[in-house]
Structure 1
Amino acid sequence: MRIHKRAALAAATALIGSLTLIGAGSVTATAEETAGAAGVALPSASFRDIVVDGVHDRVFVSDPSGGTIVVTDYEGAVVGQITAEEGAAGLVLSADAGKLYVALSTADAIAEIDTATLTETNRWPTGTGTSPQTLAMAGGKLWFGYTIASSGGIGVLDVASPSPTATPVPSGRYWYYAPTLASSPADPNALVAGEEGVSPAMLAVYDTSTGTLQKRAERGFSSAPSISYMNDFAVTADGQNIVVAANNPYDHQIVRVSDLSSNGSYSSWQFPNAVAVATDGTVATGADGDFVKTYRPGTTWPALHEYAVDDLQRDGLAWAPDENRLFAVTGFSYGSAPTLHVLPNAGKLDTTLSLQSPPTSRRGKPLTVTGWLTAAEPLPAGTTVEVTRTDADHPTGTPVGTFPISATTGDFTFTESPRMLGDITYTATYSGDGTHVPARAETTVTITK
């Protein structure tokens, strides 16, 4: 086996930290989306991990060099910093999001943070020189990947016990570095461990139901698919597959949890380095020199959304539990501070809203306007569109009405008989729903005598 650190990433040619939505249909960007695309610079010296608390609407970003955890709201605004968290690396939330667990890589410990008060409530040592790096919940316990001397290992901490004690657990293989850990609530006893930055990449799947590591599957990816220098991986929401981001190949590979056999891929480009899975199964993939892309559950093409991004960080993607916000961390690799981007509708389907009217109409005569609202997947029954009119008498707009769209064609019509002369503008607005983004369209008619 050839062992290497992560290969140097390609130099960026675009503005560091830039993030632009590509192909968003006729959706009008909100102020929140615009702010998220621009990004918010974080008061951090480094970046290692990101998790999202859907109970308190908070985002936690670890800064190992600074020994802090930066806390932001859902718009990316910094609301606090948790300090004195030495070497803060891997993060994981408890099932109820009441506790945040932090791997303290330079303190040889795991910290427990109260997510309501943002204060440390417990700290448990993992052993001298263990340098815990990664965390995951499985089998009702907290598991951690650590490095001691010149090798890595996996340990366990029963945080629900009266006196939690961190214990190393034999994994049945030699790890060169602290293995990265991942799990899925769909298979709560399964723990996936992987070694990053080596060639070929290595994954192992364990059953943790007994509090030990019982191996289900293990594989070095020397062929079919050949994977090397792994940067990130995540278990799908159904617990059936693992999505892998690695420097090679230039696609996010999918392998089965059951036997680690190949099960397809997501198209990417240079140096895939991040992947995140939403609770509904929507997948987000990212690469250092390419795009952040999102995909509907169970599909690998076409992409739901694409965001042009430069300098995406390894492990730098995380979903909010509502599946509609994706957070991305860029910067730092080229001297910039880590930057947090908020993508509010990354898990929703695009909608297209259009209006059609005659260019002119006579004063007092019936004027009919037709509109269409369409999406890649059917819109719910009863979907409506709000229409307003702006004219010389109503410069800030006045309501025209609420109109249902046709369940079969997506069209709607309305008729007015304007009495004023000059230009009038009709604006149609669709407010969106749990799976479709909002949309807006305008049309202008000149009223003549």
Structure 2
Amino acid sequence: MATLLALALAGAGLTVLTAPAAHAAEDDVAKLPISSFSSMVVDSVHERVYVSDDTRLLNTKSSVLVYNFQGQRVATLPSTAGAVSGLALSTDSTKLFVSEMGRIAAYDTETHAKTTHASTYYWGECGRQVAYSGGKVWFTEIAYATQCDDRVSQLYGTGSTGVYTTGWEGAGRLHFATTPGAPDLLTTGQTLSTGEANPYLTTFDSSGDTLVRGPQRRFADSEGAGALDLKDLALTPDGSRLAVADAAYGTRLLDAAGLSDAPTAYQPLPEGATASAVAFSGDGRYIARGAAAAGSVPDLLIQKADPEEGTTASEFAFEGELDGARIAPRGLGWSNDGSRLFAVSTNASGTSYWLHVIQPPAAQYDSRFTGSLSTTPGRAVVGEPLGIRGRLELDGPAPAEPVKVSAVRHDANGDRKLAAVEVGEDGSFTVLDVPSLVGEAAYTLSFMGDVTHRPAEDVTLAVAVDRAPTAIVLSAPAEGAKNQSLEITGTLTGQGRALPTGITLSVQRTDKRGTGTLTSAAVAADGTFRINDLPSARGEVVYTVSYAGDALHSASTASVTVRVRAA
């Protein structure tokens, strides 16, 4: 086993190119003993994955390979009637239906006991696609063993009277999509071939022995451009939407009811990637999109099934000789709970195949900021530490590692990203900053999510940043004599950034004769200053010292009273 963390799968060829923060995936790989590939079905009830070959030789016998959810082969179901091809699982997972030459076989999924479900009209040398819908088995048949990809495929059903033709057909091959959530819905797509330049998609109601066709759609315009090049198709678990792997377009998302385009499309596949497979997780939350691409171009994207959520896909590239080079057509399938994705990869020549058991990012829960943001201290001043306090609430299980909240400060100087901080067990956090500009600032807080939690909606707090306060402390004698020297000392201090050099303070003297301005006091580098005066009037004399402030510091004033007596 190799573990995908951040950017690379060490020791193997599967590389995670882009993934949401903290997401990881695990990948178990089994080399398949086949040189061609037809079908894969996933039985979540018994935790089994069935894989079939696509050998088309009349006298060649092949087998259905059975793997557990850890990627270990646990059984082989040999054919007694030539090569196998298409597979289908009953809705209740009790029966596995296998196309063999001349018949459709049925296996009990508990015991693997084999019976003949129906004998077919032809030997199936071209291989068949098989579907289970409406409580019945449906399969395709090509009557001639040559030009298998171009001849007409006929659609057959099996009922109480045995095998019967439905009357529906199409040039080239026909592929199926079914889902247990809409058990009577059978979706059929036609492949591009020399016999059909504008293939169709259509749906059938399979609840009766007679298929009732619903909407159909072709994609080429009046000049023949834009035709469907079908590689795979998949229904959402509830049957409401259909995803189509179109090699000419990418991943189409359609409303199943009318086959019209869904309101929001998936983002294009990476440049150089051609769609080859598609599958929805059993819980309907995720979609896997497979592709054929060279080198480090992603071959597999896993993302939210609803494109309106706009989530970034986790992208995987298969580029190692031990893992294949691309996703094989129809080579994707999920477990019902979405905990595992099974992917069949192949080399560039399509002669070797691998089964990957991938554990995508875990199921995610919601997160949110709760309550009001606040600051500590309550007054924000330039150049002084400021804490932005809040609380983050996480649904679901507690995170294995502490989660972090990040913040960006927006002010007149632009945006500045702050250091992320850990969230406490009670959800509380404090983001720290030192504002550098007086005026309005806004702090936007974000939680980007983790392996089990979705990102929270950002919250913003507006903060008024004031100039840093200053203070003047004066020291003077309690008494002095008229017309004799009087000295007052003091200190100017300021918070935040250092006070500028060369500061002078205004000095006023107030006595019974009135108020007058004295010589300014120069402030030394250490903030100290001296004031010398010859008071000329007896009685109480008040000395007032003032600092006008600067761009980063507020003004301040202090006063001291001296009783002046006669000399």
TM-score of the superposed pair, with normalisation by structure 1: 0.69
- For the Cα contact (< 8 Å) 2:22–2:450, is it kept in 1? no
Matched residue of 1:175: which SS? strand
Question: Which residue of structure 1 aligns with residue 152 of structure 2?
Answer: 151
Shift of 1:176: 0.8
Aligned counterpart in structure 2 of residue 298 of structure 1, from 306, 313, 317: 306
* 1:193 to partner: Cα distance: 1.0
- 1:138 is matched with 133
Q: CA deviation at 1:383?
A: 2.1
- Give, in whole Å, the separation in 1 of the partners of 2:394 and 2:102: 52
Q: What is residue 169 of structure 1 aligned with on the other side?
A: 166
State the match for 1:234 in structure 2: 234
Residue aligning to 2:98: 102
- Larger mean CA deviation between 295-304 and 148-157 belongs to 295-304
Could you report, residue by residue, the CA deviation over 1:279-323 in whole angstroms, capped at 9, with x for unpaired residues?
Answer: 221211111113311222322633342211322111111101121
Q: How far apart in 2 are the matches of 1:252 and 1:381?
A: 32
Q: CA deviation at 1:343?
A: 0.8
User: Does the residue aligned with 2:363 lie in a helix, a strand or coil?
Assistant: coil
Q: 2:18 aligns with which of 6, 23, 32?
A: 23
Residues 315 and 409 of structure 1: CA distance in aligned 2, closer, same or farther (over 3 Å): farther
The residue that corresponds to 1:286 in the other structure is 290
Residue 350 (structure 1) shift: 10
1:12-54 residue CA offsets vs partner (Å, 9 max, x unmatched): xxxxx93223334564868xx2x52xx2211122211111111
Alignment partners' CA distance in 2, 1:240 and 1:261: 12
Cα pair distance change 1:46/1:382, threshold 3 Å = closer
Alpha-carbon spacing, 1:73–1:248, altered in 2? closer, same or farther (3 Å)? same
Distance (whole Å) between structure 2 residues aligned to residue 271 and residue 239 of structure 1:
25
Verify: 1:276 aligned to 2:285, yes or no: no
CA contact (8 A) 1:48 1:62 kept: yes
User: Does the aligned pair in 2 maintain the 1:138–1:183 contact within 8 Å?
Assistant: yes
Give the match's secondary structure for 2:162: coil
Letter in 2 for 1:128: Y
**Structure 2 residue identity aligned to 1:328:** A
Match of 1:342 in 2: 357
Q: Is the 8 A contact 1:152 1:179 kept in 2?
A: yes
Check conservation: 2:233, 2:278, Cα contact below 8 A.
Answer: yes
Aligned partner letter, 2:238: D
- 2:65 maps to a residue whose letter is V
Q: Kindly indicate whether residue 223 of structure 2 is the aligned counterpart of residue 216 of structure 1.
A: no
Code of the residue aligned with 1:91 in structure 2: it is L
Partners of 2:299 and 2:326 within 8 A in 1: no
2:16–2:315 CA contact under 8 A, matched in 1: yes
CA distance in 1, matches of 2:430, 2:182: 40
Q: Which residue of 2 aligns with 1:258?
A: 257
1:142–1:157 Cα contact (<8 Å) kept: yes
Q: Secondary structure at the match of 1:248?
A: coil
Question: Residues 410, 279 of structure 1: CA spacing in aligned structure 2 closer, same or farther, 3 A cutoff?
Answer: farther
Aligned equivalent of 2:343: 328
Given the alignment of the two structures, is residue 202 of structure 1 paired with residue 197 of structure 2, yes or no? no
Q: 1:220 to 1:384 in 2, by over 3 A?
A: closer
Q: What displacement does 1:330 show?
A: 0.9
Aligned to 2:30: 40
Q: Report the equivalent of 1:317.
A: 332
**Which residue of the partner structure matches residue 425 of structure 1?**
none
Give the secondary-structure state (helix, strand or coil) at the position aligned to 1:52.
strand
Q: How many residues align?
A: 349
* 1:103 to 1:386, Cα distance in 2 relative to 1, 3 A: same
Q: Choose from 32, 38, 55 the match for 2:45.
A: 55
CA distance in 2, matches of 1:130, 1:193: 19
Q: SS of the counterpart of 2:217?
A: strand
Does the C-alpha gap of structure 1 residues 383 and 255 become closer, same or farther in structure 2, counting only changes over 3 Å?
same
- Distance in 1, matches of 2:180 and 2:49, equals 20
> Given that residues 294 and 347 in structure 1 are in contact (C-alpha distance below 8 angstroms), is that contact kept between their aligned partners in structure 2?
no
What is the aligned-residue identity percentage? Answer: 26
Q: Which has the higher relative contact order, 1 or 2, with Cα contacts under 8 A spaced 6 or more apart?
A: 1
8 Å CA contact retained: 2:175, 2:188: yes
- Helix, strand or coil at the partner of 2:342: strand
Between structure 1 and structure 2, the one with the greater Rg is 2
Once residues 430 and 450 of structure 2 are traced to their aligned partners in structure 1, the CA distance between those partners, rounded to angstroms, is 15
Give the C-alpha shift of residue 185 in structure 1: 2.6
Structure 2: runs of 5 or more not aligned: 1-11, 56-60, 145-150, 319-324, 368-390, 403-423, 432-448, 455-567
CA contact (8 A) 1:311 1:333 kept: yes
Q: Unaligned stretches of 5+ in structure 1?
A: 1-16, 353-372, 388-402, 412-429, 437-449
Aligned to 1:77: 72
Distance of 2:170 and 2:430 partners within structure 1: 56
In 1, Cα distance between the equivalents of 2:79 and 2:396? Answer: 53
